């Protein structure tokens, strides 16, 4: 009995469930292709998820604060393009890096200012600014990739510290910092409180506007970090600013157990969500499956995560009814049995 309960409460933590799912997926794939679990492949897997993972950390703050920022997907390419253009024009690398992060934050602040100043739903606002930033990227690049100087590759994927690519280290460190900020700082508390119930937070004297400005700025800034790391790894800033990153970024947060209406979530969950997605992506490559199928799988995973979350909170009416009905028939059976024995 006690064991069953502890197992159930462990499943209550999304992080534990995610680790289990990751282990199962890894085992299944490794049986087919043992090299899946090689150090080199595991590092590749993480490296492939660095951009998405870092941006998902920022998106995590935004979603936990009860908002959504679709525009970060475009900010990744835009900040990289800006930095590349600056470096091409002779600006020092360190300055271009800081500028990219600052530009990302600025885009976040603009989003937040529109959302907070007008009350328009952040989904709509950032859906619009997503397209605006894409257009700006094409204007900066003129439609052609911009090569980045060799010096930038010092922070790229080929630079390894103790065998681990530098961007992976940045991702892991940022994830740890994000989790510490969420759990141990006043700011983290404010994010969760504001996302849970903004009006209650306002009356309780919490800085609702300040908190929301901050989460959008963090999301934009982290998109800048991701953009720079990607450009450093590729050696160029891409000209086309696709939205391919949009779904995986939100997927990582949702799979990580954050509530899409805000107020609940963890950065460890977001990290694990990104790892799981990276794993699925990598498995498809290793198993030589179609990349189209992979796209479909990502979409299905997001829907499944949403359903899982809803069920976990006991919010699916027909499942509750089925359970109640079973309990009722069991108890009436038990009553019949006991009535039978007492006779």
**Least Å from the CB of residue 328 to another protein:** 6
- Alpha-carbon distance of 298 to 59, in angstroms, equals 17
Pick 292 or 318: Cβ nearer another protein: 318
Structure tokens at 286: 């290793």
Stretch touching another protein by CB under 8 A, among 13-21, 115-123, 144-152, 258-266: 258-266
Question: Which parts of 259-278 interact with another protein (CB under 8 A)?
Answer: 259, 263-264
Pick 208 or 222: Cβ nearer another protein: 208
Does 182 participate in binding another protein (rule CB under 8 A)?
no
Sequence-distant (≥ 6) Cβ neighbours of residue 296 within 8 angstroms: none
Pick 58 or 188: Cβ nearer another protein: 188
Q: How far is CA 159 from CA 98, 155, 163, 173, in A?
A: 20, 6, 9, 16
**Least Å from the CB of residue 213 to another protein:** 14
Given a contact cutoff of 8 angstroms between Cβ atoms, the answer to whether 312 and 262 are in contact is no
Number of residues that bind another protein (CB under 8 A): 31
Q: Which DSSP symbol is given to 320?
A: H
Pick 139 or 335: Cβ nearer another protein: 335
- Alpha-carbon distance of 58 to 220, in angstroms, equals 7
Question: Which parts of 24-63 interact with another protein (CB under 8 A)?
Answer: none
- Candidate residues 6, 9, 332, 333; the one interacting with another protein per rule CB under 8 A: 332
Pick 144 or 334: Cβ nearer another protein: 334
Burial of 34-62, coded b for 16+ CB within 10 Å and e otherwise, reads eebeeeebbbbbbbbbbbbbbbbbbbbbb
Q: Nearest 5°: phi and psi at 204? A: -80, 0
Pick 14 or 192: Cβ nearer another protein: 192
Angle between helical axes of 166-184 and 50-64 (0-180°, round to 10): 10
Stretch touching another protein by CB under 8 A, among 27-35, 161-169, 232-240, 317-325: 317-325
Question: Which parts of 186-225 interact with another protein (CB under 8 A)?
Answer: 186-190, 192-193, 196-197, 199-207
- Alpha-carbon distance of 304 to 32, in angstroms, equals 25
Does 335 participate in binding another protein (rule CB under 8 A)?
yes
Given a contact cutoff of 8 angstroms between Cβ atoms, the answer to whether 239 and 144 are in contact is yes
The binding site for another protein (CB under 8 A) comprises 184-190, 192-193, 196-197, 199-207, 259, 263-264, 321, 324-325, 327-328, 331-332, 335
């Amino acid at each position: 009995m006690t064991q069953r309960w502890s197992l159930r409460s462990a499943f209550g933590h999304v992080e534990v469930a995610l680790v289990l799912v990751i282990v199962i997926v890894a085992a299944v794939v490794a049986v087919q292709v043992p090299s899946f679990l090689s150090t080199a492949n595991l590092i590749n897997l993480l490296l492939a998820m660095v951009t998405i993972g870092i941006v998902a950390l920022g998106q995590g703050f935004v979603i936990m604060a009860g908002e959504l920022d679709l525009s970060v997907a475009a900010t990744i390419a835009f900040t990289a393009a800006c930095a590349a253009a600056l470096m091409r024009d002779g600006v020092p690398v360190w300055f271009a890096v800081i500028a990219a992060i600052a530009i990302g934050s600025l885009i976040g602040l603009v989003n937040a200012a529109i959302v907070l100043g007008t009350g328009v739903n952040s989904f709509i606002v950032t859906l619009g600014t997503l397209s605006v930033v894409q257009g700006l990227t094409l204007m900066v690049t003129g439609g052609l990739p911009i090569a980045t100087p060799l010096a930038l590759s010092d922070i790229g994927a080929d630079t390894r510290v103790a065998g681990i690519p530098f961007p992976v280290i940045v991702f892991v460190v940022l994830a740890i910092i994000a989790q510490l900020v969420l759990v141990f700082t006043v700011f983290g508390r404010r994010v969760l409180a504001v996302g849970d119930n903004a009006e209650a937070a306002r009356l309780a004297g919490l800085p609702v506007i300040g908190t929301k400005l901050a989460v959008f700025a963090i999301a934009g800034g982290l998109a800048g970090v991701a953009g720079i790391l990607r450009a450093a790894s590729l050696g160029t800033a891409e000209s086309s600013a696709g939205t391919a990153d949009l779904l995986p970024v939100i997927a990582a947060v949702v799979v990580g157990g954050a509530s899409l209406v805000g107020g609940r979530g963890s950065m460890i969950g977001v990290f694990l969500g990104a790892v799981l997605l990276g794993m699925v992506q990598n498995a498809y490559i290793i198993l030589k499956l179609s990349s189209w199928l992979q796209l479909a799988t990502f979409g299905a995973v997001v829907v499944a995560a949403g359903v899982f979350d809803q069920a976990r909170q006991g919010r699916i009416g027909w499942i509750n009814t089925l359970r109640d009905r079973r309990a009722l028939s069991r108890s009436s059976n038990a009553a019949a049995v006991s009535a039978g024995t007492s006779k």
